[in-house]
Amino acid sequence: MVGAYDDRDGKIWMDGELVDWRDAKVHLLTHALHYASSVFEGERCYNGKIFKGEAHTQRLIASAGMLDFEIPWTADEIEAAKYAMLKANGWTDAYVRAIAWRGAGPDMGVSAARNPVRLAIAGWEWGNYYGDAKMKGAKLDISKWKRPSPETIPSHAKAAGLYMICTMSKHAAEAKGCSDAMMFDYRGYVAEATGANIFFVKNGEVHTPLPDCFLNGLTRQTVIGMLKEKGVTVHERHIMPEELEGFEQCWLTGTAAEVTPVGQIGDYSFEVGALTRDIAESYERLVRS
């Protein structure tokens, strides 16, 4: 599928029905457009099955609750809608995007309790998020923006507004010839990339930031479980910036990123080592099993 995302052939599930792709529109005065009152999920379908689809749906519902709104469809209805969208487009391997938001209604200000909550599910065929980085390792910039304190935002919601600094960080990274950017948190600890969690390897053991102010990704949780099953020690902890110099390997995890090796972060270099390759290959087998 090629072309702008608003000008394609296909079907999108929207508010209970499948509509033509180009007709999946919202009004200018949609509350989410002005005040970021929306939550979403990114999921991948492999061989006709959405990986951890039910968990994604539950997180979508939970994220909406954190933003003080309720999605007017059940988890089972949302699951059925995802597969209806895939079937309508003839896809067995695709990226799935579910999004819920406060729409246009009688309120148009910060408060929007009376506005209807809407839900849409789209998808598209999508390859590697970081292109050929899966072979040679992605190159990351270090962002000037920091993940904020959970006292300032609902940091464990997958909410659209939380990605503003991620977009700016990724644009700055791309301008430097990088694939992405690594972010610190408000305390100065290593946090994550703009849309993926991060892992490091040292002396055969894995270290990954404690997700106490950013999203604990479903792929992250899956990979930690896989590592433990392989007998690899995993440390979930706060990681200081100066520790980057001592790590030997690094990778990113996320639904879009899957497991992507990292070759460089700023001035720090990492090898695409045996453990990185093994976990990437094991994850690929798991999602297609």
Q: Are 111 and 167 in a shared domain? A: no
124, 149, 170 - which closes a domain? 124
Does residue 218 share a domain with residue 120?
no
Alpha-carbon distance values, 81 to 8, 18, 157, 170 (Å): 20, 9, 22, 31
In angstroms, the CA 262 to CA 180 distance is 10
Asked which of 105-119, 125-139, 167-181, 218-232 is least confident by mean pLDDT, the reply is 125-139
- The reply to whether 158 belongs to the active site is yes
Instruction: Tell me: do 95 and 222 sit in the same domain.
Output: no
Q: Which residue has the tokens 């292109």?
A: 131
The 10s digit of each residue's pLDDT in 88-132 is 999 999 999 999 999 999 999 999 999 999 999 999 998 877 777
Q: What is the pLDDT of residue 40?
A: 98
pLDDT score of 3: 81
pLDDT tens per residue, range 13-63: 999 999 999 999 999 999 999 999 999 999 999 999 999 999 999 999 999
Quick one: what percent of the chain has pLDDT higher than 90?
A: 95
What domain count does the chain have?
A: 2
Same domain, 104 and 158: no
pLDDT value at residue 221: 98
| 4 is a domain residue | no
Give me the catalytic one of 52, 134, 158, 170.
158
Note whether 148 and 252 are same-domain residues.
yes
Kindly state the average pLDDT of the residues 256-268: 96
* Judgement on whether residues 36 and 139 belong to the same structural domain of the protein: no
Across the range 262-283, mean pLDDT stands at 97
Query: Is 150 found in the same domain as 113?
Result: no
Looking at residue 128, what is its pLDDT? 79
Q: How does pLDDT run across 131-152, given as a tens digit for each residue?
A: 776 678 999 999 999 999 999 9
Same domain? For 32 and 172 the reply is no
Whether residues 113 and 137 share a domain: the answer is: no
Annotate 170-192 with b (16+ C-beta within 10 A) or e (fewer).
Answer: bebbeeeebbbbbbbbeeebbbb
Q: Do residues 139 and 132 lie in contact, with contact meaning Cβ atoms separated by under 8 Å? A: no
Q: What is the CATH number of the domain that holds 29?
A: 3.30.470.10
Answer for the pair 275, 248: CB distance below 8 angstroms, yes or no.
Answer: no
What mean pLDDT comes out for the span 215-223?
98
Q: Which of 102, 124, 146 is the last residue of a domain?
A: 124
Residue 129, pLDDT score = 75
Report whether pLDDT(186) > 70: yes
Question: With the C-alpha atoms ordered 211, 215, 221, 224, is the resulting torsion angle positive or negative?
Answer: negative
> Does residue 93 form part of some domain?
yes
Inside any domain, residue 199: yes
Does residue 164 have a pLDDT over 70?
Answer: yes
Mean pLDDT, range 183-210, rounded to an integer: 98
Tokens representing 1 are 């599928």
Q: In this structure, what CATH number is given to the domain that contains residue 139?
A: 3.20.10.10
Which of residues 132 and 268 earns the better pLDDT score? 268
- Provide mean pLDDT across the span 70-75: 98
Q: Given 78, 100, 124, which residue is the final one in a domain?
A: 124
For residues 70 and 173, membership in a common domain is answered with no
- pLDDT bin (cut points 50, 70, 90) of residue 1 is low
In a domain, 2, yes or no: no
d(CA 143, CA 120): 32
pLDDT digits (tens, 9 = 90+) for 241-255: 999 999 999 999 999
Domain hosting residue 283, numbered range: 133-287
Residue 157 confidence (pLDDT): 97
Task: Give domain status of residue 276, yes or no.
Answer: yes
Does 228 score more than 70 pLDDT? yes
